[in-house]
Chain A
Amino acid sequence: MNPQPAMAHEPVTPTSGTPLSPSFGNRMFAALGSPFVPPIFITLILLVGNLSYGILESYWKTLLAIATSVLAEMMLGRIFLRKWPHPASAYITGISVGILLRSPAFWPYALCSLLSITSKYALRFRGRHIWNPSNFGICAMLFLAAQSVASLSIQWGNNFGSLAVIWVLGSVILWRARRFHISLTYVASFIALSFLRSWVTGDPWQSEISPITGPMYQLFIFFMITDPKTTVRSRTGQCIVAFSIAFAELLLRLDSCVFAPLYALFWVGPAALFIEMFIDSRRARNAVPSAFANPQIVRS
Chain B
Amino acid sequence: MTLSTPAPAPARTGVAARVLVTIFFGAQLATPWLVRRFSPAAQAPTATVDRQTALNRYGFYLEEVAHASGVDFVHQPPLLDQKLAAIMPEVTSMGAAVSIVDFDRDGWPDIYVTNSAIGSKNHLYRNNHDGSFTDVAEQMGIADVNQSGAGVSMGAVWGDFDNDGYDDLYLIKWGRPELFHNDQGHGFTRVTEQAGLPPWINANTAVWFDYDGDGKLDLFVGGYYPESLDLWHLPNTRVMPESFEYAKNGGRKYLFHNLGKGHFEEVSAKVGIDSHRWALAAAAADLRGTGHPDLFIANDYGVSELYLNDGKHFREAGAETGIGFAPKSGMNASFGDIFNQGKFDIYVSNISEEGVLIQGNNLWVPQDGSSLKYDNLARDLGVELGGWSFGAQFGDLNNDGNLDLYLENGYISLDRKRSYWYDFAKVAGGNSSIIGDAVNWPAFNGRSLSGYQQKHVWLNDGAGKFNDVAQAVGVTDTYDGRSVVLADLWNRGVLDVVAANQGGPLLIYRNTVSGDKDWIEFALEGTKSNRSAIGATLTLFWGRKQQVQTVSGGNGFASENDRRVHFGLGKNPSLEKLVIRWPSGFIQTLNDLVPNRLYNVKEPS
Contacts and interface: CB of A to CB of B under 8 A. Distances in A.
B475 interface: no
A80 B6 contact: yes
B25 interface: yes
Given A81-B7, A118-B24, A160-B431, A145 B36 contact: yes
Q: Is the interface on chain B under 10, 10 to 19, 20 to 34, or 35 or more residues?
A: 35 or more
A213 B442 contact: no
A190 B244 CA distance: 23
Interface in A136-174: 140-142, 144-150, 152-160, 163
B6 A54 contact: no
A120 B24 CA distance: 13
A35 B21 contact: no
Contacts, number: 206
B543 interface: no
A203 B442 contact: yes
B371 interface: no
A157 B358 contact: no
A102 B169 CA distance: 42
Interface in B222-250: 242-246
Contacts of A192: none
B434 A120 contact: no
Interface string B284-304: 000000000000000000010
A104 B358 contact: yes
Q: How large is the interface on A (under 10, 10 to 19, 20 to 34, 35 or more residues)?
A: 35 or more
A20 interface: no
B586 interface: no
A53 B358 contact: no
A9 B3 contact: yes
A158 B29 contact: no
Interface stretch (A40-48, A83-91, A268-276): A83-91
B25 A118 contact: yes
B128 interface: no
Contacts of B17: 79-80
Contact of A147 (B2, B385, B429, B442): B385
A207 B21 contact: no
A203 B1 CA distance: 48
A121 interface: yes
Interface stretch (B109-117, B340-348, B420-428, B587-595): B420-428
Interface of B: 1-9, 13-14, 17-18, 20-22, 24-25, 28-29, 31-33, 35-36, 39, 41, 242-246, 303, 325-327, 354-360, 376, 378-379, 384-385, 419, 421-423, 425-432, 434-435, 437, 439-443
A-B complex: 3 closest residue pairs judged by Cβ atoms: A210-B430, A104-B360, A146-B355
Given A56-B326, A147-B358, A210-B426, 13 more contacts: A3-B3, A8-B3, A9-B3, A115-B28, A147-B385, A152-B429, A154-B244, A207-B427, A207-B440, A209-B430, A213-B431, A213-B434, A256-B419
